[in-house]
Amino acid sequence: MSPARLDLKNLRKSFGPTDVLADVSLSVQPGEFVSILGPSGAGKSTILQLLTGATTPDAGEMLLDGQPLTPAQHRFAFMPQGDALMPWRRIIDNTTLGLEIQGVSRQAAHAKVAPLFGEFGLAGFENHYPAQLSGGMRQRAALLRTVVQQRSMLLLDEPFGALDALTRTQMQCWLADMWTRHRWTVLLITHDVREAVLLSDRIYVLSARPARVAHQFQVPLEHPRQVIGSPALAALEAEVLQTLLNPEN
C-alpha cells in the first residue's frame, strides 16, 4: 500500500508553560480533502506552523510520502487566512509571486499563470490591483497563487473566514467544484462546520487545548454536494457540531 501523502503521529507541542498539542495523529491520502475542526485556541494553526517549519514539535513524527518531513523541503503551498495580496502589484503579478520566489522568471511565471485566469473566474482582471477586486475575487486570486506552485499538498488556513456569509458560501461551492476537477491534496483548517462537511472527505475534530483528536468523521457523500436541502448533509453537520460542543461524549 502506498504511504499517506501526510502522516502525523503523536504530535506534542508546548509554548512555555502552555500545552497546545497533547497527542495529535492524523493522515491525508493523495488526492484527499481533509479538514480540521476544533474550538478556538485548540492548536489548529499550530499544526500548520509545524508543517511549514515555523516551529518544531516537542515530540512525534511528521511524514510526507512516507519520509520524515524537514522544514527545508518546502513541499506545501500555503494559503493564509487573509488573501495576503500585495496592493502595489497587479493581480497577475500577485498570482506569480510564489513561482518567482522559487526562481522562475517573471515572464515564464506569467506564461504559466495566464491560461488559468479564466478557470479561476479572473479573466479580464489580470492588470487590476487588489483594491479593485471584490473579496471573493481576491480569494480566488490567492488560491490561484497557491495552486500554481504545484506543491505536493495545499494547506488552507480558514481561507474564507473574512468573507460575508453569502460570498463565503459562493466561494465554498466554487472551491468544491475546482477540487472535484483537479483533485488536489488538501488540508483545511476551519471553524465552519458546514464548510468542512461540504468540502471534505474526512474531518478531524480536535478537543480543547491541549488538543487531541476527539473524533474522526468520514463524509460518505459524493462530490459535488448539494448545498441546500440535503438531509444527509444537514444530519452530518448536526453530528459534527454536537461533537464539537461535547467532545468527550
* Domain ranges across the chain: 1-72+154-249, 76-151
Q: Which residues pair with residue 187 across a beta bridge?
A: 34, 155
- pLDDT at 133 (0 to 100): 93
Q: What string of pLDDT tens digits covers the 249 residues of the chain?
A: 568 999 999 999 999 899 999 999 999 999 999 999 988 888 888 999 899 888 889 999 999 998 898 766 667 888 888 788 999 999 999 999 988 888 888 899 999 999 999 988 899 999 999 999 998 899 899 989 988 887 889 999 988 877 888 888 888 888 888 888 889 999 999 988 989 999 999 999 999 889 999 999 999 888 877 777 678 888 888 999 988 887 665
What are the angstrom distances between the C-alpha of 164 and each of 74, 138, 168? 32, 13, 6
Nearest to 191 by CA among 209, 211, 205, 175: 205
Q: How is domain 1-72+154-249 classified at the CATH fold level?
A: Rossmann fold (3.40.50)
- pLDDT at 72 (0 to 100): 62
Phi-psi bin for 53: left (phi > 0), alpha (psi -120 to 50), beta?
Answer: left
- pLDDT at 247 (0 to 100): 64
